[in-house]
């Protein structure tokens, strides 16, 4: 009898492990890469100290897109993901604000992305790689004219 009791929990645990919340007896749920990409991008932007996501070229393209009436910035900019049946991996490229502790910001971003993706999708996030590609300096975004001429 002890042998039967020990086998039953092992079989049950094994069955639960192989069938997650996304695969049930009634059917399977698949989550597109773009869904995970947007969740990760929005979760990263929520952290204080993150100025923007993406490299220089993608940020420049986004700035042009924002000037077009009706166009919106991409929530997945600066984010690439790999999504499997049960797991996801996320790569982020971020720009941080000057003066913040980069290691602390990266730790907070990683924790927020993992929490958001796992809570919303049920996928296990196996890694979140963060590349800090630039530093935003105060005054970089001032849109005023910088006319240096002596006569107006």
pLDDT digits (tens, 9 = 90+) for 52-100: 998 765 555 555 655 666 655 567 789 999 999 999 999 999 999 999 9
Spatial distance between the Cα atoms of 15 and 24, rounded to a whole number of angstroms: 11
Model confidence, pTM: 0.71
Closest CA to 79 of 44, 108, 105, 50: 44
pLDDT exceeds 80 at position 122: yes
Quick one: pLDDT at residue 45?
95
Quick one: pLDDT at residue 12?
38
Give, in order, the Cα–Cα distances in Å from 53 to each of 17, 45, 100, 134, 138. 35, 8, 16, 10, 17
- pLDDT higher at 76 or 39: 39
Residues in the chain, total: 152
pLDDT exceeds 70 at position 44: yes
Quick one: pLDDT at residue 72?
56
β-pairing verdict for 124-136 and 87-97: parallel
Give the start-to-end residue ranges of the domains of the chain.
30-136
Quick one: pLDDT at residue 139?
81
Confidence of residue 138 (pLDDT cuts 50, 70, 90): confident
CA 75 to chain centre: 9
Q: Write the class of the CATH domain 30-136.
A: alpha beta
Quick one: pLDDT at residue 6?
43
Residue range 100-109: average pLDDT?
Answer: 98
Quick one: pLDDT at residue 19?
41
């Amino acid at each position: 009898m002890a042998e039967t009791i020990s086998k039953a929990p092992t079989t049950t645990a094994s069955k639960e492990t192989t069938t997650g919340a996304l695969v049930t007896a009634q059917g399977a749920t698949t989550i597109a890469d773009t869904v995970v990409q947007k969740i990760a991008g929005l979760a990263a932007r929520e952290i204080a100290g993150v100025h923007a996501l993406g490299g220089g070229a993608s940020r420049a393209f986004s700035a042009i897109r924002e000037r077009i009436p009706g166009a919106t910035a991409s929530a997945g900019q600066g984010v690439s993901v790999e999504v499997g049946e049960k797991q996801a991996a996320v790569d982020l490229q971020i720009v941080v604000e000057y003066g913040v502790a980069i290691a602390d910001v990266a730790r907070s971003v990683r924790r927020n992305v993992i929490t958001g993706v796992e809570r919303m999708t049920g996928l296990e996030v196996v890694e979140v790689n963060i590349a800090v590609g630039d530093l935003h300096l105060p005054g970089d975004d001032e849109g005023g004219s910088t006319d240096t001429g002596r006569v107006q």
